Amino acid sequence: MNQNDESLRWKLRGLRQDQPPKRDLWPDISARIAALPPRQAEEPVQRLSGVRRFAPWAMAASLVLTVGLAWQATRVAPQDPVIPREAASLTRDYQGALAQMQGAEAHPEFGVALQELDRSAAQIRAAIEHDPNATFLLERLRRTYAKRLALTQRAVMS
Amino acid sequence: MLNAAVTDLMPDAAATTAAETDNSLVRLAIGGDMQAFEAIYRRHASRIHGVIMRLVGGHGVRAEDLTQEAFVRAWQALPKFRFESAFATWLHRLAVNTALMELRTRRAQPLFDDDEERLDDLGLADSAGQNTALSMDLERAVATLPPRARAVLVLYDVEGWKHEEIASELGMAVGSSKAQLHRARQLLRERLGEQA
């Protein structure tokens, strides 16, 4: 390493600083943890309890599904291949909502932004196909759809 | 080395106490104590978010998503923590791994390199011209590096990792890690020079 490298590295070391998030992430983290299946280390305890213990879990799971929180459950199950299915379901819901909003095309000033969001959503869907265990992509897809719908609504109302 | 990278800013006694506190909280959290895990989050969030911010080039939304992801993964993986290394080191590595996994996903989809912040800016009819900042300091110059080169530079020059560790985490040869570091430093000098 030459002197320039040493000098640069010295300056770079100065970047190693703590940086708190701009918002408190704990509520989201705790919600995600609460939706997680039991950890591996806890499984043997449940196995000891047998089928009776399983039944309430199954009932709770079906309840969660019926109130539409399936997506939230899948986002924290990294080995679950259901993520692509949830992405498809999310896409259908989004397309249904978008179909209710007519007239955005009459405002070309929004065109570039809307196309950019469409392009981004397509890339995220492709990324999910490529990596079906990437739970964060599902959240990103949901966010992109939400932005697309909000912007479309703004275009329609302007 | 990595252990030193995490703790070398602390006096020894304070570091020992911090490590003991961490271990006590981890034992409680392994038993399912969410309050203990929240305490772990409060103790480490700034450091974890900091390293993730550097790895993703200062993109706030991505860094927050990945920080969340890292803590959720930490919760899941806690029973595997063996108390053989400092918990802070273990958590730091897990967070870096989380960020690098996302980097690898993005690399597999090159066109997917647009960002949440960019999307946030779209269509907001804000003509304030916020992207015209004239000064680019070192941190911002690092953020402009290509993702893979930036990751190597951040891990080696900022976080104090070894090339062997970086190569292992990034799934590349040690020689590639060295080459990426050379490239990153060269780009960084050019960009800082351009701003001078």
Which two three-digit tokens encode residue B118?
């960019």
Question: How many residues make up chain A in this entry?
Answer: 158
How far apart are the C-alpha atoms of A51 and A45, rounded to whole Å?
12
At B184, the amino acid letter reads A
Could you tell me the pTM of the whole model? 0.58
Residue with tokens 């701003």: B195
pLDDT tens-digit series, residues B72-122:
999 999 999 989 889 999 999 999 999 998 887 766 554 444 444 444 433
Interface check for B92 against chain A (CB to CB < 8 A): the answer is: no
Chain segment B140-196, per-residue pLDDT in tens: 899 999 999 999 999 999 999 999 999 988 888 999 999 999 999 999 998 888 554
- What would the two tokens of residue A21 be? 């998030």
- For A113, B102, B154, the CA distances from B147, given in Å and listed in that order, are 25, 11, 10
Beta-carbon separation of A137 and B105 below 8 A: yes
Reference A9, options B185, B140, B1, B55; nearest CA is B185
Nearest to A122 by CA among A137, A112, A136: A137
Q: B8: Cβ–Cβ under 8 A, 6 or more apart, which residues? A: none
Q: What is the pLDDT of residue B194?
A: 55
Across chain A, mean pLDDT equals 71
A10 close contact with B: CB closer than 8 A: no
Q: Which structural domains are found in chain B, ordered by start?
A: 1-110 (1.10.1740.10), 136-196 (1.10.10.10)
CA distance B167 to B149: 12
* Contact check, Cβ <8 Å, A30/B38: yes
Contact A158, A95 (CB under 8 A): no
Would you call A25 and B102 a contact, using CB atoms and an 8 Å cutoff? no
Please list, in sequence order, all residues whose beta carbon lies within 8 angstroms of the beta carbon of residue A60, skipping any fewer than 6 positions away: none
Question: Hey, are the CB atoms on B46 and A120 less than 8 Å from each other?
Answer: no
Which residue of B37, B119, B189 is in closest CB contact with A120? B119
Nearest Cα of chain B lies from the Cα of A12 at a distance, in angstroms, of: 5
